[in-house]
Amino acid sequence: MISTISHIRFDPASPSRDDLNIEDIAHALSLITRANGHFDCFYSVACHCINCAKEAKSRGYTARVQLLCLLHDAAEAYIGDMTRPLKKKMPVFSEIEKKYQDIIFPAFVSEALTEADFEKAKNVDDCLLYHEFLTFNGEALFENAPKINISVRDGITDFKQTKEEFLNLYKELRDEL
């Protein structure tokens, strides 16, 4: 069993919609580091997600895609973050993550998400991954740098401010749907 900051207790391998809330997601993601902490500063998963949503907006994507970008890592609030290379070697982790996504995306984003929406979010996520590693670690992960419209350093704040920004952006985007 896990217990969230809002005192919801449940089995993380068997989530239900009643176990999940946006405040818990924002809180946890604002305290989880990207890249397992291998950046030159504290950079949270929540900050990454906010930047993904901002990049999606800069590309003219719909509020639905922006919201998907904001919540694409929401499962990590409950099961933690795992690096991509390790995740590929642990299919059971990906299965559990998918259980969360199958609850989170319809409940907090939209039931009408399309493959095109997911593809746009994945492209934004990959773009941010490249530029985050370049900015915070000095390493270019891909041969060709994807174009980015925002600065990944902008908006880095303490976890409480990041949590508040995450929640405000969530509410703003939900209101646009």
Whether 74 contacts 107, CB under 8 Å: no
Q: What is the pLDDT of residue 129?
A: 97
pLDDT digits over 26-49, tens only? 999 999 999 999 999 999 999 999
Confidence of residue 156 (pLDDT cuts 50, 70, 90): confident
Greater confidence (157 vs 23) lies with: 23
How many separate domains does the chain show?
1
Q: Residue 132: which domain range?
A: 2-176
Altogether, the residues listed in the chain come to a count of 177
Q: What is the pLDDT of residue 137?
A: 97
Q: What is the CATH number of the domain that holds 118?
A: 1.10.3210.10
C-alpha span between 51 and 150 (Å, rounded): 8
Q: What are the beta bridge partners of residue 2?
A: 10
Q: What is the pLDDT of residue 84?
A: 85
C-alpha span between 73 and 14 (Å, rounded): 18
- What percentage of the chain reaches a pLDDT higher than 70? 100
Q: Spell out where the chain has E strands.
A: 2-3, 9-10
Average pLDDT score over residue span 106-124: 97
pTM, full prediction: 0.97
Q: What is the pLDDT of residue 138?
A: 97
Integer Rg of the chain from CA: 15
C-alpha span between 48 and 177 (Å, rounded): 22
pLDDT digits over 94-108, tens only? 999 999 999 999 999
Q: What is the pLDDT of residue 47?
A: 97
